[in-house]
Amino acid sequence: MHIPFDQLKAEFKRVLLKLNFTHERADFCAQIFAENSRDGVYTHGLNRFPAFVQHIKNGLINIDAQPTLINNLGAIEQWDGNLAPGILNASFCMDRAITLAEQNGIGCVAIKNTNHWMHGGTYGWQAADAGFIGICITNSIANMVPWGGSTNALGNNPLIIALPRADGHVVLDMAISQYSKGKVLQYQSFEDELPFVGGYDGDGNLTKDPNAIIESKRLLPIGLWKGSALSMVLDMLVSALSLGKTVKQITDQGNESSASQVFIAIKPFNA
């Protein structure tokens, strides 16, 4: 079944307006959700939209909130996301990072109390479209077992690195798990096995079975001990820079809200 882009976006927007979004904010969020589906990132497009709506209904997302500035040290700023929709906060932060990079060559914005940014690549493209190198990092709820451990303590903390190119940008957008949670859910919905081991079953054995991984909630880090360490350090980096919640604090509250994120924009010397 194929649905035209405009029809998909209009339907997202209709739902968001019914949830009392302003026209401008509904239009922006609907555009991003529709683009994510259009670009093949189904896991953070239509497939994710119901969870986004549920978070709004549960009060985990404040649809009218705006980020507020806490600290500015020149080329780096700290913001409070006030639990606004993650898409809006992330887009705002990368815009600020680009402005700081225009003034200083490099700009860094850290934000606490924000929400899931959906497709992280969106903000990498945003930087690259403006002619800047972009780096974005977020933490998440615990969904990986530290190497040698048996209980979830690490987030898969996606990392985005984007490079502007006249002939088409290069954008890396990867979770630190071998498969993102959304990708495992996608294999599960198609009743397919993963091509490679992607997590642990309830007995702690590595498995390709998406059902077992979704049930155990234990994704496998890339590079075994290496991804385990990288995930921990990325969490420390975003929570230290934003003075926001760590993976443990997000996990302890029982739902994936009030994440910590960092956005860096760098002006290339040959631009």
Strand pairing report for 106-114 and 76-80: parallel
| Binds a copy of itself by CB under 8 A, chosen from 5, 172, 193, 255 | 172
Q: Which of the following is catalytic: 2, 23, 44, 169?
A: 44
Segments in 19-131 forming alpha helices (H): 23-38, 49-57, 86-104, 121-129
Q: At what angle do helices 86-104 and 23-38 cross, to 10 degrees?
A: 90
Candidate list 22, 58, 68, 103; residue touching a copy of itself; CB under 8 A: 103
Q: Residue 73 interacts with a copy of itself (CB under 8 A)?
A: yes
* Residue 63 or 75 with smaller CB distance to a copy of itself: 75
Selected binder of a copy of itself within 17, 53, 63, 163 (CB under 8 A): 163
Q: Is the dihedral of CA 6, 11, 16, 22 positive or negative?
A: positive
Residues 5-24 that bind a copy of itself (CB under 8 A): none
243 Rama sector, left if φ>0, alpha if ψ -120 to 50, beta otherwise: left
| Distance between CA atoms of residues 74 and 182, nearest Å | 37
Phi and psi torsions of 116, nearest 5°: -50, 130
Task: State the nearest-atom distance from the C-beta of 229 to a copy of itself, in Å.
Answer: 5
Q: Which residues bind a copy of itself (CB under 8 A)?
A: 70-76, 78, 103-108, 110, 133, 161, 163, 170, 172, 174, 178, 196, 221-224, 226-227, 229-230, 233-234, 236-237, 240-241, 243, 264, 266-270
Active site members: 44
